[in-house]
Amino acid sequence: MKDRVPVNRPEAVVFDFDGTLVDSYEAIAASVNHVRSSHGLPLLSTAEVRRHVGRGPIHLLRRTVPNSDIAIDLAKYRTHHPSVLRSGTHLLPGVAKTLRELKDASFRLGICSNKPAAFTRQLVKILGLTGLVDAVVGPEDAPRIKPAPDMLLAILSRLAVVPTQALYVGDMVVDVETARSAGVTVWVIPTGSDSKETLAKASADRLLGDFSEIAALLIGGSTAQG
């Protein structure tokens, strides 16, 4: 995959959450297994659950709980999740430092995730990101979830930028699809559900090796086409 960076510095940088900013798979797996236990099903490993994260809680439960009654099981999941939210989630390496650097450089920062928005907002506070993140959008905030463009366009509106003024950073092919459908430049990092090999085949503008590269590229003034 050929790396490309924006010709012009963006005004806003929007991030996916699970797998991009945080490792939350332990918490997600715990809540999935809580639902599975209610059906008398054996526990799944975190690695097994991780493969299904990123396309929203309905997709997650349909893939991990056979014959799920989505309305009932989603309620079970959401009731259980606050009990493991804090203990099962931590920032990925370089995230806090990079977000501070971007904020200090006057970028507008947002989070656009298929994770229920209430959980994302709670974690933003728990992880000390409140002063760094300007807006959070989840599946409740738009008609369609990713990979439809609705959520990303909604957060761009909240950040008062147009697609050509934004950069989206994610960890999955679904993030590339979302950005492309919204007309937004997209970078990916292999710290989430999709492997480096899978991401290399996607049409992202850049495949990052390390989260700290974001600040180095944007603040360091690297704007030439790669």
Task: Give the span between the Cα atoms of 199 and 130, in whole angstroms.
Answer: 30
Of 3, 16, 23, 150, the active-site residue reads 16
16 labelled catalytic: yes
* Strand pairing report for 22-23 and 90-91: antiparallel
Helices (H), the chain: 25-38, 46-50, 57-64, 70-80, 95-104, 117-126, 150-158, 173-182, 196-200, 213-219
Q: List Cβ neighbours of 122 (8 Å cut-off, separation of 6 or more).
A: 82, 85
CA dist., res. 155 & res. 109, Å (int)? 10
CA angle 18, 50, 183 (to 5 degrees): 45
Report helix, strand or coil for 18: strand
- The CA distance from 115 to 60, in Å, is 10
Cα dist from 190 to 82, 184, 200, whole Å: 27, 19, 9
What is the C-alpha to C-alpha distance for residues 19 and 169, in angstroms, rounded to an integer? 11
Beta bridge partners of 186: 168
Residues annotated as catalytic (active site), given as ranges:
16
